[in-house]
A = this chain, B = another copy of it.
Amino acid sequence: MKRIFEVDPWKIVTHSLDKDNKRLQESITSIGNEYMGMRGMFEEKYSGDTHPGIYLGGIWYPDKTRVGWWKNGYPEYFGKVINAVDFVSVDIQLDGRSIDLAQDKFSDFTLELDMKCGLLSRSFIIHRNDTSVKVKSERFVSVACKELYANRLRFENLGEKPVEICVTSLLNANVFNEDANYDDQFWNVLDKRSMQQALTMTAQTIENDFGTPRFTVAMKAIHQTSLKYQNNLETAKSVSACWQGKLFANEKAEFEKKVIVTTSRDYSDRFVMEEAAEKLSNKQAVQSFEQLLAAHVLVWAKRWEKSDIVIDGNDESQQGIRFNLFQLFSTYYGNDSRLNIGPKGFTGEKYGGATYWDTEAFAVPFYLGAASSKVTKNLLQYRHNQLDGAYHNAKQQGLAGALFPMVTFNGIECHNEWEITFEEIHRNGSVAYAIYNYTRYTGDQEYVHHNGFDVLVGIARFWADRVHYSTRKDQYMIHGVTGPNEYENNVNNNWYTNMLAKWCLQYTEKIAQEVSEEKISDLRVTDAERQRWAEISEKMYLPYDKKLGVFVQHDTFLDKDLTPAKELPQDQLPLNQHWSWDRILRSPYIKQADVLQGIYYFIEQFSEAQKRRNFDFYEPLTVHESSLSAATHSILAADLHKEEKAFEMYSRTARLDLDNYNNDTEDGLHVTSMTGSWLAIVQGFAGMRVSDDKLHLAPFVPQEWKGYSFRLNFRNRLLSVVVGAKRTELTLLAGAPLEVILNGEPVIVKMEEN
């Protein structure tokens, strides 16, 4: 654990610059607006260790797959989000020498991410010989105008001698990815111009061997300043402009940089600059930084109104949950169904910014409650858009139907470990589950009966071909899979996978009864096919141990040495840093919920005894070495009234990044895992469930808190839930009256009339 920011309910703030943990600071102070985002590197020169990163949603490059030993079926390329053309850097010189906090003497340092406003600001006083200059920087990527990045710099001469100040603003395509195979660069500059106060650049991603689209990006930087324009400079890959001025004692200066970034994702290549960037920047140019910020803050205020969670009596928890909400919304807010939620969002290169099953398993349940239903619908639509890719993936394995990928930008699988790519196929179940989850939560039948059914049929066809019939057992089986517990590979009859496959077939068959005949015939779903789905789901083998009364994780799991994890020597944890891979594989230790993930998915369908027996059997074997593990366990523990355990698990997820729990936040934030703290509070502590078309709540307050309150979006209502030690108050903030089942009793919640 390493905490470098102070505890504060609404702010991520520090008053010291920890140069040894600069990357960690940069990850935590990332900002984004779903369209683009960036790490918290400084605008000005920083000669110490730093990991700059500016990313544009959906702008990626297919890098050639590199493996030691090729396996049939491997994808040809691995997609990675590339560092965008740098539009953030600004060089600030005082008396001819660049400010560089790695070298300069400075005082009064503050770095603050204001989560309420979505504003990153920083101030410090530079001391050189007998001069002292205060510098303040503020920046945001606008949630009111997605193409806008704005940065304001303010200077004040605190000394007595005059200081010559020079600010150089850049657009620079000379950028690198740290994870590039060979220090390759990914941008060709097509056009660049400097027109005194304005800079423009149009750049295109380099060619690739795989026929995936190349992207064109245009950016125009406009400036407003009290300094005096000096000159422009162009190099092969960059363009810049410089402003200068003399600051006398106590004198101030201001510098605003506003950048409009447009891409060929929204405009045809030809017009990405001419029409889009030009037009948009003209529109923003007439507004000041102050005005643009105000519009941005207003949108954030609306988001908080819909989604805030207030925790009474624990500022650490409060900061943790708000930080998670802030970063999640910065990554995705459902405005573009072509985008998704990379495990690190816009906060790092790792996991290539691609789409994982995290989205359906962990992000969908969160967005369903924390935002309006269109957010989730766009996440579902994303998979529908990529259905062709999913059919392609199944075909690569010689199978029918659609297999949604483990890692992707465009629907085509681009991960290359056989035990994951080919075998971690339970992901397909979660894509179907998300449709089911959306439907029961929103009550919207439209999606599942149209686009949703296309997806379900593809998935059902995959499972129907992927099973095999075991003559000996007279059952259908699924051999050779990796379950959610990635600490076992290539197992047979993973209970979670088999259960989910069975459910997918049943659910698809159920929906088939509801859709139009036209839909059935469009998709060529035959009676024979439906019969086969029914037969397979009826005869699906679900390993169960009578003696223990538990579902068995996979065929031979119970033959293992089942020593509980707590008996492991502490110096061997985490296992993934201390044990060789084979030792991990044959151990009984579970990386993240596996059987319990399945129980979580259908929690209302299992008996208390079933839940308890499985939890008590599997949790002691679980090492929670995936950041996705804790939330599921917290919810199940809460469900079983193991309140202490529930809170312990919650604590592992809420401040995972703020406290650098896993010692890897310097690479970027665990964005998809951040949903876990919301889920642990709402589904865990507050016992939120949806069943029989009704919202259920059964809250308790953890001992460590006095109370908590949250907002819940449910079927066009916005509900305020205030949980106190003694009672829970429900208030309807928007929408028609609603029957809620509170602690098992129906309650009608209406808008307050006043």
Q: Which of B422, B468, B471 lies in contact with A582, CB distance below 8 A?
A: B422
Across the interface, do B480 and A586 meet the contact criterion of CB distance under 8 Å? yes
Q: Which of A460-486 contact B (CB under 8 A)?
A: 468-473, 477, 479-480
Report if A559 contacts B (CB, 8 A): yes
Across the interface, do A555 and B558 meet the contact criterion of CB distance under 8 Å? no
Q: Which of A62-98 contact B (CB under 8 A)?
A: 65-69, 71-73, 78
Q: Which of A's residues lie within 8 Å of B, judged by CB?
A: 65-69, 71-73, 78, 396-399, 416-419, 422-423, 468-473, 477, 479-480, 489-490, 492, 555-556, 558-562, 576-586
Q: Which residues of B contact A419 (CB under 8 A)?
A: 490
Across the interface, do A561 and B470 meet the contact criterion of CB distance under 8 Å? yes
Across the interface, do A68 and B66 meet the contact criterion of CB distance under 8 Å? yes
Per the bound structure, the CA–CA distance linking A71 and B422 in Å amounts to: 18
Q: What is the minimal beta-carbon distance from A447 to any residue of chain B, in angstroms?
A: 31
25 A-B residue contacts at CB 8 Å?
A: A66-B68, A68-B78, A68-B416, A72-B576, A72-B578, A72-B579, A72-B584, A73-B580, A397-B580, A397-B582, A397-B583, A398-B579, A399-B583, A422-B580, A422-B581, A468-B560, A470-B559, A472-B558, A472-B559, A477-B559, A479-B556, A479-B560, A480-B582, A492-B556, A555-B559
Q: Given the known A-B contacts A480-B586, A580-B397, are A417 and B68 also in contact in the complex, defined by CB atoms under 8 Å? A: yes
Across the interface, do A417 and B69 meet the contact criterion of CB distance under 8 Å? yes
Interface of A is mostly: loop
Q: What is the minimal beta-carbon distance from A579 to any residue of chain B, in angstroms?
A: 6
Q: What is the minimal beta-carbon distance from A590 to any residue of chain B, in angstroms?
A: 15
Q: Given the known A-B contacts A470-B559, A490-B490, are A582 and B68 also in contact in the complex, defined by CB atoms under 8 Å? A: no
Q: Which residues of B contact A68 (CB under 8 A)?
A: 65-68, 78, 416-417
Across the interface, do A480 and B559 meet the contact criterion of CB distance under 8 Å? no
Per the bound structure, the CA–CA distance linking A492 and B580 in Å amounts to: 18
Q: Which residues of B contact A582 (CB under 8 A)?
A: 73, 397, 418, 422-423, 480
The 3 closest A-B pairs by CB, nearest first: A73-B580, A422-B582, A480-B586
Q: What is the minimal beta-carbon distance from A468 to any residue of chain B, in angstroms?
A: 5
Interface centre among A67, A68, A416, by most B CB within 10 Å? A68
Q: Given the known A-B contacts A561-B469, A586-B468, are A489 and B492 also in contact in the complex, defined by CB atoms under 8 Å? A: no
Across the interface, do A398 and B66 meet the contact criterion of CB distance under 8 Å? no
Per the bound structure, the CA–CA distance linking A271 and B417 in Å amounts to: 48
Query: In the complex this chain forms, how many copies of it are found?
Result: 2
> Which residue of chain B has the shortest Cβ distance to A65 in the bound complex?
B68
Q: Given the known A-B contacts A479-B559, A556-B555, A586-B468, are A580 and B398 also in contact in the complex, defined by CB atoms under 8 Å? A: yes
What 8 new A-B contacts, CB under 8 Å, besides A72-B581, A477-B559?
A: A67-B67, A71-B580, A72-B580, A397-B583, A398-B580, A469-B561, A555-B555, A556-B556
Per the bound structure, the CA–CA distance linking A41 and B577 in Å amounts to: 48
Q: What is the minimal beta-carbon distance from A59 to any residue of chain B, in angstroms?
A: 23
Q: Which of B73, B470, B583 lies in contact with A581, CB distance below 8 A?
A: B73
Q: Which residues of B contact A66 (CB under 8 A)?
A: 66, 68
Q: What is the minimal beta-carbon distance from A65 to any residue of chain B, in angstroms?
A: 7
Q: Which residues of B contact A470 (CB under 8 A)?
A: 559-561
Per the bound structure, the CA–CA distance linking A66 and B69 in Å amounts to: 9
Q: Which residues of B contact A416 (CB under 8 A)?
A: 68-69
> Which residue of chain B has the shortest Cβ distance to A491 in the bound complex?
B490
Per the bound structure, the CA–CA distance linking A479 and B66 in Å amounts to: 29
Per the bound structure, the CA–CA distance linking A576 and B578 in Å amounts to: 35
Across the interface, do A473 and B67 meet the contact criterion of CB distance under 8 Å? no
Per the bound structure, the CA–CA distance linking A469 and B72 in Å amounts to: 36
Across the interface, do B581 and A418 meet the contact criterion of CB distance under 8 Å? yes
Q: Which residues of B contact A65 (CB under 8 A)?
A: 68
Per the bound structure, the CA–CA distance linking A472 and B556 in Å amounts to: 11
Per the bound structure, the CA–CA distance linking A581 and B73 in Å amounts to: 7
> Which residue of chain B has the shortest Cβ distance to A472 in the bound complex?
B558
Q: Given the known A-B contacts A68-B67, A417-B69, A479-B586, are A473 and B559 also in contact in the complex, defined by CB atoms under 8 Å? A: yes
Per the bound structure, the CA–CA distance linking A468 and B559 in Å amounts to: 9
Q: Which residues of B contact A579 (CB under 8 A)?
A: 72, 398
> Which residue of chain B has the shortest Cβ distance to A420 in the bound complex?
B69
Per the bound structure, the CA–CA distance linking A397 and B583 in Å amounts to: 7
Q: What is the minimal beta-carbon distance from A405 to any residue of chain B, in angstroms?
A: 14
Q: Which of B490, B555, B556 lies in contact with A489, CB distance below 8 A?
A: B490
Q: What is the minimal beta-carbon distance from A664 to any residue of chain B, in angstroms?
A: 14
Q: What is the minimal beta-carbon distance from A241 to any residue of chain B, in angstroms?
A: 40
Q: Which residues of B contact A418 (CB under 8 A)?
A: 581-582
Q: Which residues of B contact A562 (CB under 8 A)?
A: 471
Q: Which residues of B contact A69 (CB under 8 A)?
A: 416-417
Per the bound structure, the CA–CA distance linking A623 and B745 in Å amounts to: 65
Per the bound structure, the CA–CA distance linking A66 and B423 in Å amounts to: 22
> Which residue of chain B has the shortest Cβ distance to A479 in the bound complex?
B586
Q: Which residues of B contact A417 (CB under 8 A)?
A: 68-69
Across the interface, do A581 and B71 meet the contact criterion of CB distance under 8 Å? yes
Q: Which residues of B contact A558 (CB under 8 A)?
A: 472
Per the bound structure, the CA–CA distance linking A576 and B562 in Å amounts to: 37
Across the interface, do B583 and A398 meet the contact criterion of CB distance under 8 Å? yes
Q: Which residues of B contact A480 (CB under 8 A)?
A: 582, 585-586
Across the interface, do B561 and A468 meet the contact criterion of CB distance under 8 Å? yes
Per the bound structure, the CA–CA distance linking A583 and B398 in Å amounts to: 8
Per the bound structure, the CA–CA distance linking A576 and B71 in Å amounts to: 9
Per the bound structure, the CA–CA distance linking A583 and B422 in Å amounts to: 9
> Which residue of chain B has the shortest Cβ distance to A66 in the bound complex?
B68
Q: Which residues of B contact A398 (CB under 8 A)?
A: 579-580, 583
Per the bound structure, the CA–CA distance linking A473 and B492 in Å amounts to: 19
> Which residue of chain B has the shortest Cβ distance to A182 in the bound complex?
B182
> Which residue of chain B has the shortest Cβ distance to A580 in the bound complex?
B73
Q: Given the known A-B contacts A398-B579, A417-B69, are A585 and B477 also in contact in the complex, defined by CB atoms under 8 Å? A: no
Q: What is the minimal beta-carbon distance from A622 to any residue of chain B, in angstroms?
A: 19
Per the bound structure, the CA–CA distance linking A78 and B582 in Å amounts to: 19
